[in-house]
């Protein structure tokens, strides 16, 4: 997290697609705790590291921790939706699956004007519903 004036910038940085594994989820929750306690922060901007992905959601290489990650992800989405400070999703790349679910729960969404970037709930291609609150 970086702070400039009264804005906290939280960058999802888990290459190559800024996905969430258990460690990334725990760090994200801890960062939200910090921002919530910091009364000098008035706005939160979420973004993805690099220029290719905002986030592709769940890190399938950490499937062994899915039973811990999914409830945590749903709770974090609800928390962001109800956050007392405005949360902006600054989308500058592909946004898929749980990454789109994260963007959807933000109060404002701003996406770069580039038709090559895609967004979608990729779970639908697998015949399952979005597990982190996308429905």
Catalytically annotated residues:
101, 123
Instruction: Say if CB 54 and CB 14 are below 8 A apart.
Output: no
63: number of CA atoms within 13 Å, CB side? 2
- Using CA atoms, how far apart are residues 65 and 9, in angstroms rounded to an integer? 27
> Residue 8: in which H helix or E strand, if any?
strand 7-12
- Using CA atoms, how far apart are residues 22 and 3, in angstroms rounded to an integer? 25
Find, among 132, 108, 104, the residue nearest to 25 by Cα.
132
Give the distance, in angstroms, between the CA of residue 33 and the centroid of all CA atoms in the same chain: 15
């Amino acid at each position: 997290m970086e702070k400039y004036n009264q804005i906290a910038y939280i960058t999802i940085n888990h290459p190559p697609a800024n996905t969430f594994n258990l460690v990334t989820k725990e760090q994200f929750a801890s960062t939200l705790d910090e921002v919530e306690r910091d009364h000098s922060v008035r706005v939160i901007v979420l973004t993805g590291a690099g220029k290719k992905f905002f986030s592709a959601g769940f890190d399938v290489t950490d499937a062994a921790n899915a039973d811990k990650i999914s409830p945590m992800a749903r709770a974090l989405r609800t928390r962001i939706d109800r956050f007392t400070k405005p949360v902006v999703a600054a989308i500058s790349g592909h946004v898929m699956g749980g990454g789109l679910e994260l963007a959807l729960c933000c109060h404002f969404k701003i996406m770069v004007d580039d038709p090559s970037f895609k967004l979608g709930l990729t779970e639908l291609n697998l015949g399952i519903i979005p597990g982190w609150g996308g429905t």
